[in-house]
């Protein structure tokens, strides 16, 4: 189901709904950009100013599709800048002449330019961007030629782009076709995890927690509009809980960055001790309410694993999975098989004995396959607002896991086939981007509240998906 929906919703022509502009508008925007760059150079005389814009042929310079392309491309550039100190960012996404962004970077101008060239050359969408690097103490922008680097290649024939432009070597139709193809490739290319500062990774983790509780309407879950089936908590409870975990995520990052042992299971045991302390901090902030126990376990693992692999440079999702699998090796046997014979069982232990469900431990031990192989690719190809994309991603996750929280609340595993029917109908209605699909979600939320149901397991996986999407530059 999710593949079909993804294919239907992917923007096939990013120029649709765009308004043509004339040469006068383009030239006026060029004058505005030059003046604004000069202002920034004077305001930040000791820093580097980076101008980021799309290099799009023809009269259509902005559209919903082009804005989405720009945002994802810019996010990836931001990832590549990684540990460089970005002091400020200025966004001008809705300009008729196309989206633009300016970054203020406290770094050597040559270092910044080399990253910019790498982005323009090696990224699928980077070839559609112009990234200019300048500083107050430089008389002019730092060029590729000044660094001994080759000129930019034409999108179509790979010759010198300036030569092709001067000669008018290609038609506008050819250009549009190539740009749309590049966009589609970007939407299906596996994510890469770029090294980030500790502060950035922790911020992404906290953002993921806050994004999840902000998404609405979620069936049975807490959001800013409804408490769902949770009478003991509100959105403010989740905000307090999220902020209380800041120190824990900093600890998790340091554990991964500093770990020098052999077996990765030992790194996990260090994290687990920190997680037990974090649970106490959570309960103190929420007055005893369990808001993020699952996220403390799962998101903490990812933060630690990302810090660990960041020492190797850019990493793939597969490499991240391998680290997670190494950290959680044997956890199902250790935690669940030993539950047989216990007098008092947790909900997870009961479901393991009754239905052989391994829950979050099993997902973690396998390297979070639902997140990596299903949720992230779906989110990467989805269109619409952030809320719409995350809503549909949540429902895709719920359709692909045995949500132990839902089973616990329903008191039976028979709830899972029911849930799948509801999700199937939701996507048949078009998902969150249609009024019918959104209306059905509200109805489903009421149904969940009546039956005291909640897809808390899916919500935890949405947090992980959002975190990795932030890390990979697609949110």
Cβ count near 135 (within 10 Å): 20
| Cα 205–Cα 207–Cα 209 angle in degrees, nearest 5 | 75
Residue corresponding to tokens 């149901």: 453
Claim to verify: residue 216 and residue 351 sit in the same structural domain: yes
Which pLDDT score, from 0 to 100, does residue 343 have?
61
Claim to verify: residue 232 and residue 248 sit in the same structural domain: yes
Residue corresponding to tokens 């430089």: 138
- Provide the β-strand partners of residue 358: none
Claim to verify: residue 227 and residue 357 sit in the same structural domain: yes
For the chain, the maximum distance between any two Cα atoms, rounded to a whole number of angstroms, is 81
In this predicted model, what pLDDT tens digit does every residue of 207-241 receive, in sequence order?
A: 999 999 999 999 999 999 999 999 999 999 999 99
Nearest to 400 by CA among 424, 380, 383, 382: 424
First to last CA, the chain: 23
Weakest-pLDDT range from 50-54, 110-114, 153-157: 153-157
CA 358, chain centre distance (Å): 26
Which pLDDT score, from 0 to 100, does residue 198 have?
94
Please check the confidence at residue 345 and state whether its pLDDT lies above 80: no
**Which is more confidently placed, 79 or 364?**
364
Which pLDDT score, from 0 to 100, does residue 9 have?
43
Tokens of 194: 């770029």
Which pLDDT score, from 0 to 100, does residue 470 have?
93
Please check the confidence at residue 93 and state whether its pLDDT lies above 50: yes
Claim to verify: residue 206 and residue 179 sit in the same structural domain: no
> In the chain, pLDDT over 90 holds for what percent of residues?
61
Q: Are the beta carbons of 187 and 193 closer than 8 angstroms?
A: no
User: How far is 55 from 58, CA to CA, in rounded Å?
Assistant: 10
Average pLDDT, the chain: 89
- Phi, psi at 287, each rounded to 5°: 60, 45
Claim to verify: residue 145 and residue 216 sit in the same structural domain: no
Q: Which domain-ending residue is among 165, 189, 213?
A: 189
Number of structural domains found in the chain: 2
Which pLDDT score, from 0 to 100, does residue 344 have?
64
- DSSP helix/strand/coil, 360: helix
Weakest-pLDDT range from 34-43, 155-164, 286-295: 155-164
- Residue 402 sits in which domain range? 193-472
**382-386 mean pLDDT:** 86
User: How far is 235 from 16, CA to CA, in rounded Å?
Assistant: 37
Claim to verify: residue 199 and residue 124 sit in the same structural domain: no
Q: Tell me the pTM.
A: 0.82
Q: What is the DSSP letter of 97?
A: T
Claim to verify: residue 184 and residue 249 sit in the same structural domain: no
CA 310, chain centre distance (Å): 17
**164-179 mean pLDDT:** 84
Claim to verify: residue 159 and residue 203 sit in the same structural domain: no
- DSSP helix/strand/coil, 326: helix
User: How far is 200 from 212, CA to CA, in rounded Å?
Assistant: 18
Residues contacting residue 417 through CB under 8 Å, at least 6 positions apart: none
Residues contacting residue 401 through CB under 8 Å, at least 6 positions apart: 363, 370, 457, 458, 461
Claim to verify: residue 250 and residue 330 sit in the same structural domain: yes
**306-333 mean pLDDT:** 93
Which pLDDT score, from 0 to 100, does residue 6 have?
39
- Provide the β-strand partners of residue 106: 85
Which pLDDT score, from 0 to 100, does residue 5 have?
41
User: How far is 385 from 388, CA to CA, in rounded Å?
Assistant: 5
Q: Are the beta carbons of 264 and 323 closer than 8 angstroms?
A: yes
Element (H, E) at 354: helix 347-355
Claim to verify: residue 266 and residue 398 sit in the same structural domain: yes
Q: What is the DSSP letter of 372?
A: I
Nearest to 397 by CA among 295, 466, 332: 466
Q: Are the beta carbons of 106 and 25 closer than 8 angstroms?
A: no
User: How far is 426 from 438, CA to CA, in rounded Å?
Assistant: 8
Claim to verify: residue 168 and residue 268 sit in the same structural domain: no
Which pLDDT score, from 0 to 100, does residue 139 have?
65
Q: Which domain-ending residue is among 166, 189, 212?
A: 189
Claim to verify: residue 131 and residue 273 sit in the same structural domain: no
Q: Are the beta carbons of 302 and 464 closer than 8 angstroms?
A: yes
Q: Are the beta carbons of 305 and 364 closer than 8 angstroms?
A: no
Weakest-pLDDT range from 40-49, 88-97, 158-167, 337-346: 337-346
Q: Are the beta carbons of 330 and 265 closer than 8 angstroms?
A: yes
User: How far is 123 from 118, CA to CA, in rounded Å?
Assistant: 8
Q: Which domain-ending residue is among 162, 189, 216?
A: 189
Confidence of residue 16 (pLDDT cuts 50, 70, 90): confident
């Amino acid at each position: 189901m999710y593949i079909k929906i993804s294919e239907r919703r992917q923007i096939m022509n990013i120029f649709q709904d765009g308004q043509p502009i004339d040469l006068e508008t383009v030239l006026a925007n060029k004058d505005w950009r030059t003046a604004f760059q000069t202002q920034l150079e004077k305001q930040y005389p000791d820093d580097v100013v980076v101008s980021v814009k799309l290099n799009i042929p023809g009269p259509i310079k902005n559209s919903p599709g082009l804005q989405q392309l720009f945002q994802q491309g810019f996010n990836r550039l931001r990832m590549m800048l990684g540990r460089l100190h970005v002091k400020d960012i200025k966004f001008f996404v809705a300009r008729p002449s196309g989206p633009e962004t300016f970054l203020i970077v406290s770094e050597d101008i040559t270092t910044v330019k080399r990253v910019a060239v790498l982005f323009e050359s090696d990224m699928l969408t980077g070839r559609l961007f112009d990234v200019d690097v300048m500083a107050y103490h430089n008389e002019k922008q730092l060029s590729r030629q000044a660094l001994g680097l080759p000129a930019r290649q034409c999108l179509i024939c790979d010759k010198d782009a300036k030569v092709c432009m001067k000669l008018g070597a290609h038609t506008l139709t050819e250009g549009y076709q190539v740009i749309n193809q590049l966009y589609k490739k970007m939407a299906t290319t596996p994510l890469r995890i770029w090294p980030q500062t500790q502060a950035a990774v922790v911020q992404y983790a906290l953002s993921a927690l806050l994004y999840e509780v902000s998404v609405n309407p979620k069936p049975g879950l807490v959001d800013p509009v409804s408490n769902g089936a949770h009478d003991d908590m509100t959105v403010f409870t989740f905000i307090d809980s999220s902020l209380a975990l800041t120190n824990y995520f900093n600890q998790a990052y340091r554990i991964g960055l500093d770990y020098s042992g052999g077996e990765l299971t030992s790194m996990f045991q260090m994290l687990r001790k920190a997680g037990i302390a974090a649970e106490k901090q959570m309960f103190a902030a929420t007055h005893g309410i369990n808001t993020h126990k699952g996220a403390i376990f799962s998101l903490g693992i990812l933060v630690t694993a990302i810090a660990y692999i960041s020492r190797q440079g850019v990493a793939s999702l597969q490499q991240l999975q391998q680290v997670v699998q190494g950290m959680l090796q044997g956890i199902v046997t250790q935690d669940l098989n030993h539950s047989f014979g216990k007098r008092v069982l947790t909900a997870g232990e009961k479901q393991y004995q009754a239905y052989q469900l391994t829950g979050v431990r099993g997902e973690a031990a396998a390297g979070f396959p639902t997140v990596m192989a299903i949720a992230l690719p779906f989110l990467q190809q989805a269109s619409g607002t952030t809320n719409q994309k995350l809503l549909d991603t949540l429902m895709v996750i719920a359709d692909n896991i045995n949500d132990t929280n839902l089973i616990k609340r329903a008191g039976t595993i028979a709830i899972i086939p029911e849930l799948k029917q509801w999700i199937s109908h939701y996507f048949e209605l078009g998902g969150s981007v249609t009024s019918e699909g959104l209306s059905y979600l509200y109805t489903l939320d009421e149904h969940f509240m009546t039956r005291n149901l909640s897809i808390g397991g899916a919500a935890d996986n949405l947090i992980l998906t959002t975190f990795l999407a932030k890390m990979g530059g697609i949110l």
